[in-house]
Amino acid sequence: MAAPAQKQDPTEARLEGLTLPDGAAWAREAREAALGRVRAMGLPTRRDEYWRYTDPATLTQAAAPRAAVFKPTDEVPLFQGVDRLKVVFIDGVFSPEKSDDLAMAGLEIDRLQDALAKDIHWAKDLYGTRETAGQDPVARPLAALNTAFATDGIVIRATGKAEKPVELIYLHRDETSDAILHHLVRVEPGAEVTVLEVGPAAARFNKCMEIDVADTGAFHHVRAQGRDHERRAVTHMFARVGKEALYKSFTTTANGVMTRNEHVIEIAGDRATAHVAGAALGDGHYGKFHHDDTVFITHDAVDCESRQVFKKVLRNGAEGVFQGKILVKEGAQKTDGYQISQSLLLDDDSSFQAKPELEIYADDVICSHGSTTGAIDETALFYLRSRGVPTDEATDLLTLAFLAEAIDEIADEALREDVAARLREWLERRRRG
């Protein structure tokens, strides 16, 4: 009997154009399992509680909405002055010509599809594992979609102290590119690596990074999301942090019509540390700006510290969202959890919505969270002006001061200075018009 004509389910509509990439049997299995998760969960809609403040429609629709490539040459790439290993993707495709040799003392680096084609590879234990764990208690279907269909990516295993950072450079050249990248980072005991990410990547970008920081390992992440005004991105960082290990992630975002950055971190070993921070500059003048930071940190060990520091400067109708949770499990005593999300609204048209959450099942913990929305401090502004600093320059100075607490989360001084200088330049450029 013929089924009655039906409006196609949006999840199936998205899946229709995608094919599961080839790979070793285990990889194929991981991808099929992920596809099963996507189908079971369904792609998100505005009706989902977790997407209450951000409309996922353009992230889930079948084709990527067009995004103009914004003057790729008029800005000096970030971290130019830093000695690093460059890994370049153009519209989500690895470019061997533009990339450095994937070799460095202390690191094993492979392309994702090469790792996933091998019968035996360390990636087997990680691919899709953190993502699957991160689906509970909140569903993250776009991450499962990524695990199923990611076409490219990089896998990094740190076995020692990496001599320099690895920089993932995401170039955007095609107005309709729809990129799905999946990266893996495994930090072995006592090892340390810094991963940098720079660039708009594609018209629409779905990125997933799974990170396993073993006991006493250290992972640093500094990201600058490209300023192409029309680009869209949904990114997930899934991490497990072992005993006395360190996880530190900082993101700066200037423009982009739609950005949803999720961090899902499980603090699994005693005396571990996890910090996530973000500094966003949103200006609706260049088109719509919507930026959503969604963070879920689970404390499941004793004497651990976590910090969430998110700052947003919004003007001309820009929208900011923060959803941040600290979950302290039973037995996770002596937890020190800190969360702050603040927005600086430079006009009445812009908006900020925050949903800070604490859920605590241990009694010996210190957890604090705060969220504020404010305008520029008029008293400070007048003080600066009375010393001769013009209003717009004074506003920029106060804006950078507002972002400072987030920027200070970057541990490396050279990287921190680079990011701070870039934010200063962006503001200056804007001021000059």
Partner 1 sequence: MLDIKGLAVKLEEEDKQILKGVDLSVEAGSVHAIMGPNGSGKSTLSYVLSGRDGYEVTGGSALLEGEDLLDMDPEERAAAGLFLAFQYPVEIPGVGNMTFLRTAMNAQRKARGEEEISAGDFLKLIRAKAKELKIDADMLKRPVNVGFSGGEKKRNEILQMAMLEPKMCILDETDSGLDVDAMKLVSEGVNALRDAGRGFLVITHYQRLLDHIAPDVVHIMADGRIVKSGGPELALEVEKNGYADILTEVA
Compute the residue count for the chain: 433
- Specify the residue for token string 């940190």: 297
SS3 of 60, please? helix
Minimum CB separation of residue 414 from partner 1 in Å reads 19
Q: Which of 119, 188, 128, 136 is nearest to 153 (CA)?
A: 128
- Rounded-to-10 torsion of CA 49, 53, 59, 60: 30
d(CA 92, CA 301): 37
d(CA 86, CA 10): 37
Minimum CB separation of residue 255 from partner 1 in Å reads 23
- Rounded-to-10 torsion of CA 132, 234, 264, 127: 40
Q: In terms of CB distance, is 366 or 401 closer to partner 1?
A: 401
Minimum CB separation of residue 281 from partner 1 in Å reads 15
Angle between helices 25-41 and 141-149 in degrees, nearest 10: 150
Minimum CB separation of residue 390 from partner 1 in Å reads 5
d(CA 50, CA 323): 9
Minimum CB separation of residue 225 from partner 1 in Å reads 23
Q: In terms of CB distance, is 250 or 286 closer to partner 1?
A: 250
Minimum CB separation of residue 378 from partner 1 in Å reads 7
Q: In terms of CB distance, is 361 or 383 closer to partner 1?
A: 383
Q: In terms of CB distance, is 76 or 380 closer to partner 1?
A: 380
Query: 197 — phi, psi (to 5°)?
Result: -130, 130
Minimum CB separation of residue 413 from partner 1 in Å reads 15
Query: 171 — phi, psi (to 5°)?
Result: -90, 145
Minimum CB separation of residue 389 from partner 1 in Å reads 5
Q: What is the DSSP string of 258-307?
A: EEEEEEEEEE-STT-EEEEEEEEEEEGGGS--EEEEEEEEEE-SSS-EEE
Q: In terms of CB distance, is 48 or 377 closer to partner 1?
A: 377
Minimum CB separation of residue 340 from partner 1 in Å reads 13
Minimum CB separation of residue 400 from partner 1 in Å reads 7
Q: In terms of CB distance, is 142 or 420 closer to partner 1?
A: 420
Q: In terms of CB distance, is 40 or 401 closer to partner 1?
A: 401
Q: Which of 354, 369, 355, 237 is nearest to 306 (CA)?
A: 369
Q: In terms of CB distance, is 38 or 309 closer to partner 1?
A: 309
Q: In terms of CB distance, is 364 or 408 closer to partner 1?
A: 408
Task: Give the CA distances from residue 253 to residues 68, 195, 278, 290, in Å, rounded to whole numbers and listed in that order.
Answer: 17, 17, 8, 11
SS3 of 167, please? strand
Q: In terms of CB distance, is 163 or 392 closer to partner 1?
A: 392
d(CA 7, CA 427): 47
Q: What is the DSSP string of 368-429?
A: EEEEEEE---HHHHHHHHHTT--HHHHHHHHHHHHHHHHHTT--SHHHHHHHHHHHHHHHHH
β-partners of residue 259 are 233, 291
Provide the binding-site residues for partner 1, judged by CB under 8 A. Answer: 377-380, 382-391, 393, 397-398, 400-405
Exposure string (b/e) for 208-219, b if CB count within 10 Å is 16 or more? Answer: bbbbbbbbbbbb
